[in-house]
Amino acid sequence: MSFFSEFREFAVKGNVVDLAVGVIIGGAFGKIVDSVVKDLIMPLVGKVVGGLDFSNYFILLANPPADFKGPMTYEALTKAGVPLFAYGSFLTVLLNFLILAFIIFLMIRQINRLKRAEAAPAPAPAEPPPTPEDIQLLREIRDSLKRDKA
């Protein structure tokens, strides 16, 4: 089997295609979660802790160049090439990860519940309870009386 035909066989297998679709959807979903964290959650958290922007939490690891006249923000200093210890950005990315992991956990949990429900065999019909002894005796008496009349 040639290299290209072997590769084609590998590439068109269901698992590879499913994985590719999952990666593409995961990338798009990651962007949505990124936006939720950056644009919705972090501003609320910043407001609660005093109106601070988490993206501007950093420590300078070197002084800015002598000709730097821009603002002392993360974006401006990064563009100027100043090394920063940007723990605020890290907190944002960490929160992003935790939210994404939690959502994926909930999805997998629901999928597993559905799989268990599908795999569970249908319950067997319940046997009727045994006839009580007094009912059985009454039936025997009835049957005996019918036989005596006949």
pLDDT at 83 over 90: yes
pLDDT at 14 over 70: no
User: Between residues 64 and 52, which one has the greater pLDDT?
Assistant: 64
List the chain domain ranges: 3-123
pLDDT at 98 over 80: yes
For the ranges 5-19, 24-38, 59-73, 113-127, the maximum mean pLDDT occurs at 59-73
Tell me if 80 sits within 8 A of 65, measured CB to CB.
Answer: yes
Residue 84's pLDDT is: 92
Q: For domain 3-123, say whether CATH 1.10.1200.120 is its number.
A: yes
pLDDT at 44 over 90: no
Tell me if 32 sits within 8 A of 61, measured CB to CB.
Answer: no
Q: List, as one string, the DSSP characters of 58-127.
A: -EESSPPPTT--S-SSHHHHHHTT--EE-HHHHHHHHHHHHHHHHHHHHHHHHHHHHHHHHHSPPPPPPP
Give dist(CA 37, CA 35) in Å, integer. 5
pLDDT at 19 over 90: no
What integer best gives the mean pLDDT of the chain?
83
pTM summary value: 0.53
Residue 51's pLDDT is: 64
What's the mean pLDDT in 127-143?
Answer: 90
pLDDT at 53 over 70: no
pLDDT at 6 over 80: yes
What is the pLDDT confidence band of residue 139, given thresholds at 50, 70 and 90?
very high
Give dist(CA 81, CA 104) in Å, integer. 37
